[in-house]
Structure 1
């Protein structure tokens, strides 16, 4: 009886990661610019609840298997189905953690406050809609609802990407929209073809019906889905748009885009490969794509002198690790991919938030203009060093554990191509360490650039303040160009501002650094959870039975 009660309770929780952010966004849109402090707390509380619900869904999926709810009482495959299995529950939880931290960070930066160019009535509701779209994509139990989740992401992300209306952001936003629309059109065509071939778009029912259609047609449908999802995941050669789009956005927006949105595409690839197209078909092709993604991404990072663009290219290269795990087609490879997705969402988001702090403290993200931050901002140095080493895979951090799991799965496969990927993974990890060390050397160790250090007692205007205010610098403190949205591309000259970092910005970054370390401390349970998720994904039957039950 207790088990039945808990299962029923979990059922009620499944829609809430979608409903709560949408409800909060609706309330905020209705309030407009009134009661900004109340609206900020409403946003924070709604995302905190989503985080708690995500943990509850993880426990429920682990204890009782996949759980499905039929929205509106319409049974599958007719109605809208939301499914919380171990993979989707993990993704909801990790995404809630990083979106909550980024929201707090952005409030501290002033993006969501009255000092920001983009008003409260625009930024926060759009951000919450983005979170709802992400949760909907993770929990979707049919392809069309997954498509709806992607479209919610596209609409909200375009608004966030173009905040401030600068020329660079509008240009980047246009590129992003065009690429996303191409992906969405391909996905929609694939959905239409799948429905025409099988008579359904319900994922559980597709798992039963797709093996019955012509193998040639099945391969065509698989290629179309992988192409559409590959664009969203930024795999090579479909990733050229990302380094030109993400770095132009405000730091919090760049962080949540880089850390999370590409992983929605990776999640869709995992779901398609395990549920719709099990077996070894196209796995070799995926491994070649993973290889190219790793190498081309990290070589692009080596050539960069701007931290945001450098991190954007490392993002692309590390998508290759996840694709490698999926392409192996084994439980160990899939478990490594699931663990690495959770790790990379956290670490990549943290590094972009730290980059925002670097830009505010040092006045730039260009390595040619930075220096001495290790001496004048030691806390900032620590906040960068920990996730940077984690990204580079230094033991015993979670990045090292995730890579070791993938390398072991590659060696276990024992094919020439898998060994090639193992070698490429090691090379990519070493080059990641090289580019991270270069950032550390230029930004934190070397002597500050001329003009970046102010004399003691210098009084500077704080243009981000709600009203005119000043701040006196201590010995050797750095100054530099800044703007309200962290974008100096439209300024005629440097704008000298206070370098005082708001506590909420630092606190949110510290929280994510701690969350990344928690992935290491609790790596054992998380690896076990990832392994169980992989077994469940490979089995497919628990997912199908949870959705369809007796509706076959």
Structure 2
């Protein structure tokens, strides 16, 4: 029997969600309060960041922390359980949300809360935080639905035709993924009689292996769709370019990363035996996503659609860690998710500045921006190097861990070759090379070329304009602050790498997670 009384300090595991939901409700009720809404939303997110910092420090020092709702003993009550991976991702998501709230202030319509913008942003953060921190698979489904509701509202908030078209594509595929997720939950509950994550770890080895493999395959399809892995990835570049850039940044940084987090949690920690059966399929998905996505970015001329393909390529990097599931490999996937939350958001924020300065979304109509704004040029180039995994930027370290894991499992040292591991190594290197080509091609067309594509490409681009004072302080400075954080994390990665390794250890050996919930240990 465990103590059902929860100390006040343990409420920190649920406070990030409670604060966001309460803040969203208040903002919706007071949406005609004018300029106070933005400041209130930022205060709420700051409070969430403080809670997440405290939570991260606590799980780093003491291990996983759990709280079960309604004083129902686990596994019957809904548990919120934070380990170092979920707490770190929740912290990164809150930081990105605060940056986006600052960024939207450079537009008069961004400061207008009557549309429900701030309430929807907090609702989205509530869904993301809940998904990261929940310890129950059905509750994870609930938070996915909360994210969908918020993301639909944010995607159509300006009401343009292109946004409505993108929302239909986004909604159809995500509803389909949700249906697969719900079907997998029903089958899993029928097989093991529980949806508490810690209890699943204990019960899954006793269930029918073939049936559990089918459930794992459904989870792979559902979460792979939400993460935009190949071949169910076409919805992302068809939708993320449509809303305002700040909203695209939120989507690129948060939504697909929740899908990859769910894949890691279910296939590595909850259903490791089923993941072994599906390992060839996981490897194929990883390899094809790694290679095809940057090729799409090279072929694309719309700036934010091209960035969408770069986002998809990063999903392949995460999945490759599940294809080479050693401690190094899983750590590489965990660290890459943290990197992608920051880097992909920053890419879209900088893309928004580029679109404002050129008045275009097509890179063929851009050019000469280096002379108009060297800082924007430098920010974009740094983010390209980070996304490609060029040292010493943040994206280099997770890819180094993944390459090390692949080399260790490949058998190249002793001649016992594992061709899947070798294929993953080649795909990772090819992804880095192709992403660098795609990113530098965008940089050359937007910044280095003098003008529009064609015979007059060497003539200065007369349609360029410089950022105004408000755009500089409220748009460029927040984006630069996020890039500075990415650079600092790449130059001093010790805490991140240690946290990623501990997170991987917790997924591969989840005994501390089970103990935190208060259940019997797994055999």
TM-score interval w.r.t. the shorter chain?
over 0.9
2:438 aligned partner: 435
Q: CA RMSD in A?
A: 2.2
Q: Does 1:513 align with 2:483?
A: yes
> Aligned with 1:343: secondary structure?
helix
Q: Report how far residue 10 of structure 1 moved.
A: 4.5
How far apart, CA to CA, are the structure 1 residues paired with 2:69 and 2:521? 15
Q: Report how far residue 480 of structure 1 moved.
A: 5.9
Q: Could you tell me whether the CA contact under 8 Å between 1:112 and 1:124 is conserved in 2?
A: no
How far apart, CA to CA, are the structure 2 residues paired with 1:387 and 1:262? 19
1:251-400 to structure 2, matched below 5 A, reads: 251-279=245-273, 280-400=276-396
1:16 aligned partner: 15
1:487 aligned partner: none
How far apart, CA to CA, are the structure 2 residues paired with 1:290 and 1:172? 26
> Aligned with 2:364: secondary structure?
coil
Q: Could you tell me whether the CA contact under 8 Å between 1:362 and 1:480 is conserved in 2?
A: yes
Per the normalisation by structure 1, the TM-score is: 0.88
Which residue, out of 473, 479, 496, partners 2:463? 479
How far apart, CA to CA, are the structure 2 residues paired with 1:274 and 1:294? 20
Q: Does 1:541 align with 2:496?
A: no
Q: Deviations over 1:375-406 (max 9, x none)?
A: 11112112212112111222111112221111
Q: Report how far residue 67 of structure 1 moved.
A: 0.4
1:445-456 to structure 2, matched below 5 A, reads: 445-449=448-452
Q: Could you tell me whether the CA contact under 8 Å between 2:245 and 2:352 is conserved in 1?
A: yes
Q: Report how far residue 140 of structure 1 moved.
A: 1.0
1:24-423 to structure 2, matched below 5 A, reads: 24-34=23-33, 36-114=34-112, 119-279=113-273, 280-414=276-410, 415-423=418-426
5+ residue gaps, structure 2, are 1-5, 411-417
1:461 aligned partner: none
How far apart, CA to CA, are the structure 2 residues paired with 1:497 and 1:343? 28
Q: Report how far residue 522 of structure 1 moved.
A: 2.6
How far apart, CA to CA, are the structure 2 residues paired with 1:551 and 1:500? 56
> Aligned with 2:81: secondary structure?
strand
Q: Does 1:424 align with 2:427?
A: yes
Distance verdict in 2 for CA 1:195–1:16, change over 3 Å = same
Distance verdict in 2 for CA 1:297–1:227, change over 3 Å = same
Distance verdict in 2 for CA 1:122–1:480, change over 3 Å = farther
Q: Report how far residue 524 of structure 1 moved.
A: 1.4
1:486 aligned partner: none
Which residue, out of 501, 518, 528, partners 2:471? 501
> Aligned with 1:311: secondary structure?
helix
> Aligned with 1:69: secondary structure?
strand
How far apart, CA to CA, are the structure 2 residues paired with 1:77 and 1:417? 38
Q: Tell me how many residue pairs correspond in the alignment.
A: 504
How far apart, CA to CA, are the structure 2 residues paired with 1:10 and 1:363? 50
Q: Deviations over 1:43-102 (max 9, x none)?
A: 001111211221211111111111001123222112111011011001101111111111
Q: Could you tell me whether the CA contact under 8 Å between 1:104 and 1:508 is conserved in 2?
A: yes
Q: Could you tell me whether the CA contact under 8 Å between 1:376 and 1:478 is conserved in 2?
A: no
> Aligned with 1:240: secondary structure?
coil
Stretch deviating more after TM superposition (277-286 or 161-170)? 277-286
Q: Report how far residue 549 of structure 1 moved.
A: 4.0
5+ residue gaps, structure 1, are 1-6, 454-475, 482-495
